[in-house]
Amino acid sequence: SAQIADLQQKLLDADNGDRAKQRWDTIATILEAKCALKYLLGELVSSKVQESKLQSGLSQSQANCTDVQKMLMEERNHMAELEAEFQNQILVQEQQHQEKVNQSSRIS
């Protein structure tokens, strides 16, 4: 069934290509050519406007992505600092606890 669908699509594409060729072949007068060119130029302008909008959206998305990556790095650095501080506090607590244990064993 995949091959059948592929063949059907190829036939549709070929048919559309033939129709487009026939349309261009039927242009017989300067007026028809002018109309066709006017239409094509309109489509070109429309495509360029759409491309410009998409490019602008892409640039904005890239800028947003860069900002998010920067914030993520800042947060990672902050988390690393907090973790280092926490580990230092644990070490201090362990040392204080060990000193208390040693002092109570000397007293006994």
Task: Output the tens digit of pLDDT for each of the chain's 108 residues.
Answer: 788 888 888 777 766 666 666 667 777 788 888 888 899 899 999 999 999 999 999 999 999 999 999 999 999 999 999 999 999 999 999 999 999 988 888 776
* Sign of the torsion angle spanned by Cα atoms 60, 64, 65, 66: positive
Per DSSP, 26 falls in state T
d(CA 2, CA 7): 9
- Candidates 104, 84, 85; CA nearest to 96 is 104
Query: What residue ranges do the domains of the chain occupy?
Result: 2-78
Per DSSP, 1 falls in state -
Triad 86, 91, 80: Cα angle to 5°: 30
What lies within 8 Å, CB to CB, of 26 at 6+ separation is 32
* pLDDT at 13 (0 to 100): 72
- Candidates 45, 27, 47, 44; CA nearest to 36 is 27
